[in-house]
Structure formats: C-alpha cells, structure tokens
Chain A
Amino acid sequence: MSAAAAVPPRPEADGELPVLEHAGTYAELTDELLDKVLRPPRWMRPALLLTFLGSLVLFAAIAYTVTTGIGVWGNNIPVAWAFGITNFVWWIGIGHAGTFISAFLLLLEQRWRTSINRFAEAMTLFAVVQAGLFPLLHMGRPWFFYWLVPYPNTMKVWPQFRSALTWDVAAVTTYLTVSLLFWYLGLVPDLAVMRDRARERWRRRAYAIFALGWRGSARDWHRWRIGYGLLGGIATPLVVSVHSVVSSDFAIANLAGWHSLIFPPYFVAGAIYSGFAMVLTLMIPARRLYRVEHVITTRHLDSMAKMLLVTGWIVVYSYAVEAWSAWYSGERYEMYMTLVMRPFGPYAFVYWVVIACNCLTPQIFWWRRARRSAAALWVASLLVQVGMWAERFMLIVTSQAHDFLPSSWGLYRPTVIDGALLFGTMAFFLFLFLLFLRFVPFIPIAELKELKHRVATEREERVHG
C-alpha cells in the first residue's frame, strides 16, 4: 500500500469526486500496477483452481448434452427455448457494458472510464464467450452450426437471411471479433511493459509474442492511437446493434409478448443495465482485494450507480410501455400475455422477482450515501443481475408456454443439466476472468498515466490560470 492512498479526496473541476487519487510519480504508479501482476496475491491460486473445477462442470454438461441429445434439458413443445436462450441473452447483455464503457464513454469524454475500461472489456469478452456457447449447444445438431454462416458450399444453399438467427450469427461474431481486437490493441503497450519487467525468461518470451514488437517509440504511439480510435469508432455502433439483433430473435416472431417493436431499445437498455451490474459485481471485490481504491475511486462507484439508475429507469419505462401497448392494442393474445399470464400465471413468481429486482432495487441510488457505498452497490448489482436473468426467462418462457391454442399450453421445468450449464458458465467466466487478472495488467497503465498527467495539468491550470 503506497502512501498515495492516504491523500484526501479532492474535488475535481466539475465538483465531482476525483477520478484518480494518486500522489506519487508516474514510475511509482507503473510499479504499483505492475506489481499486481508480477506478484499475484495469495488467494489467486485457490481461486483459479476452484473456478476451474466449476468449469469442468460446464464441460461435462456440454459433453453430456452433445452426446445424448438436447432432451437432457427441460425444453419441450411448446417451450422450445428456455434456459439456453435465456442464458445466451443474459450473457450477451452483460457483455455490453465493456464496449459501452470503453467506446461510448470514450466518445463522450467521460474520464472515469479509464481506470475500469480494460476490466470491463475483458468482462465483455468473456461474457460473449459464455453467450456464444448457448446458441451452439441449444441446436439439435450442433455439429452443423456452420450452416448458419454464408459460405460457398457444394450444397449450393445459403442461410436464410430473413431469419433473425442468421443476423445473430453475424452480429455476435462481429461483436466478439471487434471486442477482442479492441481489448487486445489496448493491451499492447502494457504487454510490452510486462515483457520488459517479467522475471522469468519464458514469461518475457510469451509477453514478447503478444506485445507485437512494441518499442514505445513516438511512431508506435501514433499508429496505436489511430488504430485504437478507429476500433473504438467501429465498436460504438455495435453496442446498439448486437442487442437489437438479439431482440429480433423474439420481435420477428408472431408470439404474443415477443412480437413487439419496443424490443430493440428495451433490450439494449436492459443489456447495459445488467452489464454495469456485472462490472460492479466484479470490480468492487477486485478493487478491494488488489487495494486499488485510489485508482478505482468512489467517483467510479458514484458514476456507475447513476448509470444503473438511468438504465434501470429505461427498463422500467419499457415494462410500462409494453403493458400499455398490450392493453391499447386490444389484441386478445397480447393482453392475456402481458396483463394476465406474466403477472398472475404459473410463472408469476418470476415476474415479481423481475419487478422487485429491476424496478425497485436501483431506486436506492437516489441517495448519495447508497451510491458511494461499495456494499450497497455490490448487493444491488447482484440483485439487478438476478432480475435481468429472470426478465429474460420470463420474456422467453411465458410467451411460449401459453401461446395461441390452449390445447398446446405447457410448462417448462429446468433439469439438473440446465442448472449445470448456467452454473458452469458462471464458473468458466470467473475462471477466464481470474486468468486475465493473473496475467495482464487489468488497469491500463499507459492510459492511466495519461489521465494522471491530464488531471495534474488541469489542476495546475486551475491554480495558476
């Protein structure tokens, strides 16, 4: 723990809390942040082992599903999509926060994004990896997944471009690719530092490969900046497009409760909502365990809480509009679904969990004390994630369970395998995340020093100007 943390928080120019509370030199900042990777905390090894074992549960469940058949899940007719697609939408939604923070907030010149952007991007990447598993696994014959990709083939058959599932493939793979590149490109300067500082030879070799021969020359920095900016520009619209496309999986169908024009913005808002919650869920413990409260400051917590409140309200508004338009349409099936089946039907419990977690929880952030309390935020972030998962489950399952013909109404009950897949992806996600914490600087060192410089310059300008 450096002495820097003892510096009392000084308000910034905009009257907000400071985004960085570091009083030392640049070199000290570099040393401190590198130290987190070069000398991993003691809990790292058991944590990795634990999450790896959890990941094995996932792999076992996948192997069982693929070898035996999708029937090991609880899905049926009418509920042909259930946990699998719920998990997919949930994970991909979580993945939205990273790009939102690094690209969107970059464009909006929000400086508080710097300390957490790499963290959030890594989370995005790993969440998209989890998400990507489900569309593959939920297929009856996953070994033919590539038929959804337009590639020249001897069958002379293309995918069906009217289906939202083909858009999904394009959207998700694009998102994964761009997120990966964006994250990786941002990492390059720090990987070079790791290459220079790592103790063992093999580590230096490994980092050297990934550092792409970075030398820190002005030309390197120049090119890097252009590339990073360009990728940021490309990534920004993806924040909106991916979840809009995912929402079309439902919106283009004719089922009551799915067939709705509000879905794209509603899903995007929900995605960012759950994504921010996930960032908080991971960040709050990491910040404490790694003792970086002076880098990821209360200011960050405060801003994130406000984001939760805003996106939470968009979600609340979407719920309201959905109910209102169902009633206003006068359409029997829509009204039944939105006003009867969901709140009072067999899955009513899920509905009320959604309302409690997604609508009520963020309201505590009207109070500043709650916004600045790590504990309150952490609990709230968990609740929001539970709520968002439940929301997806409710949207997906209720509409199928009670559709047009009462004769085919049926309920879905998850099986152990369904549970194992959900739990397993969580473990695998954490495992990947821990690997990330273990091997790369999770706070962008170069960018942070730049921020430090700007903050200092501004302060000087304020003092002298």
Chain B
Amino acid sequence: MTSAREARAFDDDDDPRRRRAAALAIALEDARDPIARRDFLARMGAALALAGLGACTRAPRQEIVPYVVQPPEVTPGVPRHYATASTLDGYAIGLVVESHEGRPTKIEGNPEHPASLGAAGAFEQASVLSLYDPGRARAVTERGSVVAWSRVEEALTRGAWTSTEGKGLHLLLQPTSSPTLAALLDEIRERLPRAAISFYSPTAPENAWEGARFAFGRVLEPRFALERADVVVSLEADFLTTGPARLRLARSFADRRAALDAMIRLYVVEAICSVTGAMADHRLRVRSGEILAVAAELASAVGLPGLPGGVPPTLRAAAAPHRAWIAATARDLAAHRGRSAVIVGNSQPPEVHALAHAINAALGNLGTTVTLAPSPVVDAGGPAHDTARLAGELADGQVDTLVVCGTNVAYASPADQSLGELLARARQSAYLGLHADETAAKCTFVIPEAHALESWGDTRAFDGTASIVQPLIDPLFGGRTELELLSLFTTRRDARAYDRVRARVHADLTRGGAGADLEQRWRRALKRGIVDDTTIAPVDARVDWAALAKRLARTTPTPPPALELVIRPDPRVHDGRFAANAWLLELPHPITKLTWANAATVSVQAAAQHGLETGDEIELRASGATITAAVIVVPGQADGSIGLTLGWGRTRGAELAHGRGANAFALAAGVAVAPLSVDIRKTGARHDLAITQRQRDLAGRDEDILRHATLEEHRRSRPPPRDEGRRHLTLYTKEPREDVHQWGMAIDLTRCTGCGACVIACQAENNVPTVGPDAVYLGREMHWLRVDTYLVGDPEDPEIAPQPMLCQHCETAPCEYVCPVNATVHSADGLNEMVYNRCVGTRFCSNNCPYKVRRFNWFDFHRGEDATRELAHNPDVTVRQRGVMEKCTFCVQRLREHGIRERQGRAAAPPRTACQQTCPSAAIVFGDLRDASSDVARLRSDERAYAVLGELGTEPRVRYLARLKNPNPELG
C-alpha cells in the first residue's frame, strides 16, 4: 500500500514519461495483490482505450489514467479482438489477438489472412508469453550500465561515417518483408549510400532463392496449390510445419487428405523424421547428402525433354539402390501431369531446388499446382543476405558503428565467420533485442526491443499480402521498434513508427486508386488485418534449360560422409529465438516427445552399431569443433545420419534454457549448409531426458486406440457393426437432454499431423502451467491436451501416427463416480466438469481415467510467477491452486459465454475450442451433437468414426476418425 501512496506522489511529476514509468512499476507491484490487480487492469485498459486503440487512429504511447467515464468501446469482462501479424524469417502470419481490458492474452489465426486461414502455429500461440516474459531486457544500457536514450541517440548518430556517406556504418537486420522498413532502408541508402545493410537468419531460404536463380535465371519463390495436387513429392521439405506457407499448406493438404474420393498421395524423401515425413504414404529414408542423387534420378525417370543432354548420370549414381522406388514415384508423377508437385526443403542445395523446378516444369505443374513469384522479402537472394562482407569488414576494423536489430548473431552466427567474436571490433555497436542475450553481451549499447504485440509495423505474407502490425499494449519495458531505431539514420529522426506505417500504407492505398475513402480503407486494413491489393502476382516463369544443363554439368556430387550430421530448425525454439519461452520449451518435440532440450537422433541400426541407447551422451566432432549431446534413438531415421536441431545450449538471455541441450551452431552455420561429416564417441555419461511418452508402440492395441488403414483396406472392409442395438449393462443413469446443447468433438486422424499447435493453444487459453524438465521427467507435465505419437508397424522403419488426446468427456465417466467429494460432475450439456474449489486431491479420478488425461497440481505451480507473467493469464479461467486435479474442460469458459449471449438473444457464431481454432489442418471439430447438420454430428456418424477404448463403455463425447493412408499399389 505504500507503493500506492508513492504513485500519487509521482502524479505531481512533470515529466510524463517518468510518471508513466513509475505508474507502471507500481501497477506491476500491486499486481501481486489480487484486488490491486483489478485496479491495475482497469488502468491498463483505460490507457489503451484512451489511446484510441479501439479506433486505431493513434499510437498508444499515452499516459496511464484511470477511467473517469468508461470508454464506450470497452465493456469490462468482454474481450476485444484486434488483427495484427507476426513475422518469422521475414514472412508474415496474420493473427487476431484477444485483449482483456487492454491486456493481450490469446492469439488466434486471422481467417482472412492467406498464410493463416484462421490457424496459428505453436510459435504464434506462444508469442503472448514472450510478451510478458519477465526476463526481457528492460533498460537501455551502455556496457552494462543504464543510460538515457538521448545518450544512445547521440552516440549512434555520430561517427566517422557521417562524413563518408555512411562508410563504416553497418546495419544488420533480420530478413524482412516490411514495406515500411524497406522504404526506410531506401531512405537510409539514399542519404548514406555507402552504409552497408545486411540481413541474417540461420533459417532463411537462401538455397531456394539460389535454386530458382539456377532454373529461371532470377529469384522466384514457388507457391504450392496442394488443393489441386494429387501427388506430392517432398525432397526433405517439412512443408507442413516449416516455411512461410506452412499453415496454409497444412490446411490444403489435410483437406485433400480427408477427401477420400480424391485423396492426395505424398512421397517423402528424408533423412531425419519430420512431421511431413510422418504423414507420407511412402517415405524413403536416405541420407540428406544423397537426396541430390535421388532428385536427379527422379528427374531422369520423369524425363526432362527440354534439358540438353539429360540429367548427368554421375549425379544420379548414388541413388542406384532406390531406383525402383524412384521409378514408381516418377510413374505416379507422370500419371498426374499438371496435378502434382515436387517440393524441396531449404536444407537441400540449390541444384536440388533447380531440379525440382525442372521436374515441375516437365510435368506441366507450373501455373497449375506450382506458381512462381518474386519474394516479398527485401533483397531476397541478393548479396545483402550474405554476412561475409560484414565479417570481412569487421575483421579489418573498417566498421565504425554497427547496429544489430533482433538477430542474435553472436549465438546463431555462421560457425566459420564467428561474428560473435568480431562484433567487438566495431568502434561502437548497438543491439536491439528482446533479451539481453549473447549478442547483447558483445555490443556497446543494448536497447530493449518492443515485442510485436507492442509495436507498430507492417509485414508481408509469402504471397505478398501486406498486414499492419498493431500494438495491443504499450511497451511494458519501454521497448523500441526496429523502425524507431533505424529512423535515427534518416533525416526524419523523430518520425514515429505509427506515422511511417500509416504514410506507407496510405501511399499504397492511394496508388490503388483510393480517393476520399482513404481513411476508411486504412481502418478497414487495420480491422481485417490485411491491406487490399498487395499480393505479388505470380509470373510466367520458364526454365532456362541451357543454363540449367550447364549448371548441372558443373556440379560434381561429393561422396557422402560415412556419418553425416543433419541440422534442422527446432520445432520448439526454431533457431534459439524462442528459447526463453517456457511453453515452447515444454512442448514435446513432435517426433521424439522430448521437452526442455534437444538431442542427437540416431536410427535403430546406427544405435546398435555404436552401442547407444536413448539417454546416452555422445561427443559430436565436426568441422574441427566438438560438442556433447544426449542421444535419442528414433526408428525411421536414415542409418547414416545424426540429426540435431538448432537453438539449444543458450548461455545468455534465456535463463530457462541455459545449458539445456546442445548448441548445433558450434558445428554448423544453419540449415542451409551441406550435411557435415561427423564423428561420434560415447562418453559414458547419461542424461535423464524429459520425454513425455516413453512407450512408443501400441502394444498391439491398435484397434482399441488408434485405428489406421490404407484407403484400399478401408474401402474393402465393411463398416464395422454399429453396436447401437447392443444392450450395455450399466449402473449409470443417463438423462438425454434435448433442451440444451450437447457438446461433442471429432478428431480426424487422417488430417492430424501432430504438429503440437493445439497443445500451446490450450495452454494459453486455459492458464496451464509449465512444470520444468525435472517434473516432466517424473511424469508431471500439465498439458490438458497432449499429442500421443505412436510408432506403428516395422520397428526399424515405422509409420509415425499422432493422436491428440484430451479429456474425452465420457457420458458415463469413470472419474465421476470415484470422487468422494463430488468435485467432478456432469453438466446438462454433456461436459465432464471439474470443480476446482471442491477438489481435495485424492487423485482417484486420475487412476480411474482410462485415457490418463487428468493433471494434478503436485505443487503450487503458479506460485513463483512474476507479476508480469501473471498478466498473460486468461481472466476467464481459474488459476488452479496446489493439490487440485485439472483437465480439459472443452473450453467451458467459451461455452458459457456463448450460452450467455444466446440467452441475451445476441446471435453468436457457434463456440469453438482453442485447439480446434488453431489447428492448421482442421483436424479437430467441435460442436453441438443435437444438430444433425453440424460438422461434428456428421463426422461422428462417419464410418471411420470410433471411440478410443470404446469397449470400456465410457461413451466418450470425443470420437476419432481412423487414420487412412493412400499408398501407391505399385510400391505395396
């Protein structure tokens, strides 16, 4: 309470910035007290509302003042939604963010955005937690001491380069597609023509750009229309979970997967098991280094009539053992001319990309399933994306002022350039970052970066569609955006990001022929989350066969190493940028189910050969460097490959992840490098790996748990006898209620890829705590929704089958009758409800749950939470205390809100659960079972529908649809 008094004292301060900072500090302090927190929320809400966020016409940098008159657009307790976008490696995903009284709490995909289609992945879902990360950089510092912003402003804008047209000034950015940033960079280039600007991300699609240059003579990016494709071949492309169009491709693939009359067929050639590989009908496991040969062989088998001299046999030689497989695939492709596609992963060299373009051209796919268009990324494929020049100039001491924006280059730098070491050679350097990380430690100035949810900006999707990035909240720690920092180097130093974005979009809109309705269209762009008429039109690209032939002739295949190291971006922390995010750290890896670390993956055969088993530690020696990593045996991986993901082994700025996992950057620069030759040695040490699912096979229980078949088997089999007529003996009394909704869910296993987006969506929506690696190891993870991933079939090269598992809301729930205190009961609308404040924690319900979806608060998991972290909580969901059981509620808060709206007579869209809403492949369908026309009712009566462990008579409200595959009969 003393702090409240101080707050009043600060009100007298003249400097609004100081006042605001003080008010925020006090508010955060007060947030520990639940009643004061409400007060705080009101104040935060007021600040944003008065800032005009609702109208989105003014930047939100305003003072925090309490409500005097409640703003008309804010109703306490009713969340508002704003469209914005997030960017990964320069490509945008459109988002809709839920905001409670000015506090963003939940992120959804923007249904109108072409890269989202309403879905969001794990990274996007988790970004709200990064916003409230108490470990974020909080103050502008110079060599570790806090300084005023004016000091940075002054220092950065002075230097030798001011008199040499910018020579000596170097800007290092993340790849970007922002039109405003591009315009700003042009401004800088114009003013300081000799300033160097470069872009760096370890996961940028440089090989793809280069491959397009080989094939077409210029940088183009392929876009795939899987909705029109019948056969898809992926050459190490994990297109369902990586790449700029991942969510869209997952959706279109799933749609064609579930269309049983026209089911798409997928061939995947890869070394390391990926989510896309798990969805393949045929998966050829070969070493990453041999895929060039496979591509060449495939090109040759398909036939490239335009290529003078054909595909050089030397290129194809290594694929000889797989010739039959490739020939069958080629025949399948050839049978689907114009309705097929070959997709190549970024890790493959440019030649493979070029060959794929050639195959697509030869198959007549260009213009139908594959279209080509220039990249939305600024300077894509250009020299600016090479950091070699920067490294050279740093080494020579030619860099006077270096500004690094957002890219943690000291950690994630190309191993051969060791930029981290070189950063100190600049006279002065500044780092704009969310965390005081490895790069921050090497730079003179550290400037806290504003999170995307705190920033004005813009960004473009894979197809060029521009979105405006809107702030949902005033920067919590006074962060600045890239636009604001780089404005220092323009003539308009003080231009606010908001003004720049607005000016830029207005310019676009004016060019589009807008007149008087400009303001209206600006508002419309903000509201919808996309700017009209900004897509980049595809071009009619022709393969330059002569150049390609020359190029291929020059290519000499390097003999693959005995043991290769294949580096992949991590599905949880990507390249390390999400390593401070507890939700992502605790998200099980989709294939290995490992949390809180990465591990070197080896195949069953390679493990046997080297005497390794899961949990052993090995030493990896490649390109002169050595690291140690724990081993996980992954059946289905190529025998000659060791897999390792990027982003682990962080040392600064991501406290939760420090020292966890192995830093792959120590061995390689990123994913765009050729597989490295690696030596491994068992050290004898053991790691307790926090794996959430240790038993990977179904123990012969396939029929009860995860039904899977080929399309052919499914067609041949008669529909299983419906046991509607059978009389179940039961002690339960069920009252079928016709007067209220009867909620139910259907999960289509043919669609589900097991990507894990739903897990994070559920965690964000339902205030599910993270527990840390030790607790995961003990079996105490709290995820209400988990994705079980089973290995089916051949134990050395199995099929990988995911199955989301959540509370099944059994109509005759085994958990309910064993609870001694009535803490878990059934609702009239068919939910199995958990009454937290009645629960005494006997855990009998969990024992009696055949699906083991109940989670227990072994400790007070929310206790240690920082006040800032608490802001991420969904106010509609109870934060559970120690000693109570919890589990999936079918997002009951959304259902009840829907019910209230219905009673008020306000028409409302059918409620959706968080998992359903975010699922990129639309595998989860939720709805009212009474309504026979609803999707969920229709799917429930599908002949593929079954209840997991149906024989137990639990009568779950969740039904699964059997997982079907569409193998090529020729390959059996």
Contacts and interface: CB of A to CB of B under 8 A. Distances in A.
A141 interface: yes
A383 B230 CA distance: 69
B883 A160 contact: no
B857 interface: yes
B756 to A, nearest CB: 14
Interface in B819-865: 819-822, 838-844, 846-848, 850-852, 854-860
A38 interface: no
Given A77-B779, A148-B820, A69 B843 contact: no
Contacts of A403: 850, 852
A75 interface: yes
Nearest to A69: B859
A352 B790 CA distance: 31
Contact of B694 (A75, A142, A147, A410): A410
A465 interface: no
B195 interface: no
A69 B858 CA distance: 6
A403 B848 CA distance: 10
A161 to B, nearest CB: 9
Interface in B599-615: none
Contacts of A48: none
A142 B841 CA distance: 8
B694 A409 contact: yes
Contacts of A141: 839-841, 881-884
A336 B695 CA distance: 15
Contacts of A79: 779
B189 interface: no
Q: Which of B778, B856, B857 has the most CB of A within 10 A?
A: B778
A75 to B, nearest CB: 7
B852 A160 contact: no
Interface stretch (B24-32, B61-69, B429-437, B696-704): B696-704
B74 interface: no
Contacts of B698: 406
Contacts of B821: 144, 147-148, 157, 159-160
Contacts of A249: 844
A80 interface: yes
B946 to A, nearest CB: 14
A140 B841 contact: yes
Nearest to A79: B779
Interface string A49-85: 0000000000000000000111100111111110000
B299 interface: no
Contacts of B883: 69-70, 139-141
Interface string A392-409: 000000001001111111
A140 B818 contact: no
Given A75-B858, A77-B779, A139-B842, A406 B847 contact: no
B838 A140 contact: no
Contacts of A234: none
Contact of A410 (B779, B818, B857): B779
Given A76-B780, A78-B846, A70 B818 contact: no
B695 A77 contact: no
Interface in A141-197: 141-142, 144-145, 147-148, 157-160, 162-166, 169
Q: Which of A70, A74, A75, A408 has the most CB of B within 10 A?
A: A408
Q: Which of B786, B842, B857 has the most CB of A within 10 A?
A: B842
Nearest to A407: B788
Contacts of B848: 253-255
Nearest to B803: A407
A139 B840 contact: yes
Given A68-B859, A140-B884, A157-B822, A254 B817 contact: no
Interface string A111-153: 0000000000000000000000000001111101101100000
A89 to B, nearest CB: 14
A77 B852 contact: yes
Contacts of A166: 820
Interface in B793-812: 803, 805
Interface string B227-264: 00000000000000000000000000000000000000
A409 B695 contact: yes
B819 A160 contact: yes
B949 interface: yes
Given A76-B779, A165-B818, A409-B695, A404 B949 contact: yes
Contacts of B856: 70, 77, 80, 140
15 contacts: A69-B860, A80-B844, A81-B847, A139-B883, A140-B840, A140-B856, A140-B857, A141-B840, A141-B881, A148-B820, A157-B821, A159-B820, A249-B844, A403-B852, A410-B694
Task: Identify the 5 closest CB pairs spanning chains A and B, nearest first.
Answer: A140-B841, A140-B883, A71-B858, A76-B779, A407-B788
Given A404-B704, A405-B948, 15 more contacts: A68-B859, A69-B883, A74-B778, A76-B778, A77-B780, A77-B852, A140-B882, A140-B883, A141-B840, A141-B882, A160-B821, A255-B847, A405-B851, A406-B701, A406-B705
